[in-house]
Structure 1
Amino acid sequence: MVRVLKLPQWFVGLLFAVTLWYFTFATFRENFWLTFLFSSAVLALYGVVMGGDRRLRMSRYEAAIAFWVAVALYVFFFVFNFIFSLFETPREWIEQIYDSGGGVPWYYLTVILVLVAIFEEFFWRGYILRALADRMNPLPALILGSLLYALVHVIAGNPLLIVAAFIAGAVFGLLYLVTKSLLATIFCHALFTVAAFVVMPFR
């Protein structure tokens, strides 16, 4: 009798994410932002259907925390970017991140970034991190969840993006575990990415 290997639902979701991220970063570069938006939406739907966090609540206190966390994260990456831009190869990696989607109108990009932040948080924090936290202590769950979030970005072939994804993932994950508010994490994520790509880009 052949024993069928039964994988955890969150692990199946992770394999799904790797597949979608491959098509996003390695295949559809000309329509990067639209493909990225579609991939994120599919993952969010998967996470919600599989029992991920759907509670969208946020107190004023949690909103204030999310805002200042976004500001602190932006300042950290501003310094991070300044240091790495002094070297030729890391500077090319930074330019590669901004050149991924080509020239896109700022209003169009803003809408996409906000939607992507919503979808990513539903999947990565509301589903993956929550599933991990249900099975292990918060700290290992946070580290593993951030590592998985970073590793799917390996497909992009940009070492700086992988490191940035791990750091941002850890910050968003910690905010989620502390506040228990998915909306606060979405708010923080959206603020940071819009600031970093539209309002005050690092390039």
Structure 2
Amino acid sequence: MNEPEDKPPAVVEEEMRDATLREALLVAGGVTAASALAVAAAFSPERAGGPWMLGSMGLVYAALGAWAVLRLKQRGELYDQLRPAAGDLSIGAIVAGVLYGVAMAVHILVTSPPSPRVAWIMRLYLALGDPAAEGRHLVGGVVFVVAALEELVWRGLVMRVLTEPLGPIRAWLLQAFLFALAHLPTMFLLGDPAVGPNPLLVLAGFSYSLVWGRVAMRWDRLPPALFAHALFTWGAFEFPIWRP
């Protein structure tokens, strides 16, 4: 009986690449689906303005964040990716400030009165709740933590797992697209009958993910991007671009 011939090295290498790509797409797709479900639950009308509005996102991202940490540890990358360094907070604050300025400019140009599109940003902030309500600073802390977990998951897990089979540029673009896709439910949950579906979080998710992803690539560590994401989201919550 003839022994099966060994596969040529090129075939073995191609099969390994295909397996790595399948795994990466499975991880990225799973994170996107779980995130979309969490976003849909958080922004559902029955939770709008309530104290547990962010609870579903927090629980989902805590689980996904634990997965991201475990994967980094298994690959021996946990310390290198999460180690702090001087300037991390400053870099994050500068990036967050620039992004806040961009958000304010978009509001002035696109969603400020008398434009009917003001309904888009009104619905977003009404879903988050009254910024002057009692206990809102505690909620602001939750916003900061959830945003930090988002960064850990999307740049620490999704973008990194996509980089090996796709390369850094395509992984960077795809993670931004998937992050925006995860926010697609808000187009309809925060839409308005007069002006239609609300694209604000989807467009912001894509464009800002490009920035946070680039920061993570530039420093090859997560803390600068993590602070940038968390500080921006906290700032947009604590210092609302629109107030009721």
User: Would you call these one fold, judging by a TM-score over 0.5?
Assistant: yes
Q: Are 2:222 and 1:196 aligned?
A: no
1:181 aligns with 2:221: yes
Q: Please show how residues 90-105 of structure 1 align to structure 2 within 5 Å.
A: 90-103=117-130, 105=135
Quote the residue 2:57 is aligned against. Answer: 36
Between the aligned partners of 1:167 and 1:89, the Cα distance in structure 2 is 23
Indicate the SS of the match to 1:8.
helix
Larger radius of gyration: 2
Distance between the aligned counterparts of 2:221 and 2:91, measured in 1?
11
Give, in angstroms, the shift of residue 185 of structure 1: 1.2
Question: Counterpart amino acid of 1:201?
Answer: P
Alignment of 1:14-163 (within 5 A): 14-26=32-44, 29=47, 30=50, 31-51=52-72, 54=78, 55-86=81-112, 88-103=115-130, 105-157=135-187, 158-163=198-203
Letter of the structure 1 residue corresponding to residue 96 of structure 2: A
Compared CA separation, residues 58 and 90, structure 1 to 2 (3 A): farther
Once residues 97 and 197 of structure 1 are traced to their aligned partners in structure 2, the CA distance between those partners, rounded to angstroms, is 11
Structure 1 unaligned regions, length at least 5: none
1:27 CA displacement: 7.1
Quick one: distance in 2 between partners of 1:21 and 1:72? 25
Structure 2 unpaired stretches of 5+: 1-21, 188-197
Matched, 1:12 2:42: no
Secondary structure at 2:183's aligned position in 1?
Answer: helix
The aligned amino acid for 2:129 is G
* Per-residue deviation, 1:12: 2.7
CA shift for structure 1 position 24: 2.8
Secondary structure at the counterpart of residue 97 of structure 2: helix
Deviations 1:61-86 (A, max 9, x none): 44432221111111111111111124
Higher mean alpha-carbon deviation, 44-53 vs 178-187, is at 44-53
What is the aligned length? 198
Alpha-carbon offset, residue 193 of structure 1 = 1.3
Q: How far apart are the structure 1 equivalents of 2:172 and 2:228?
A: 17
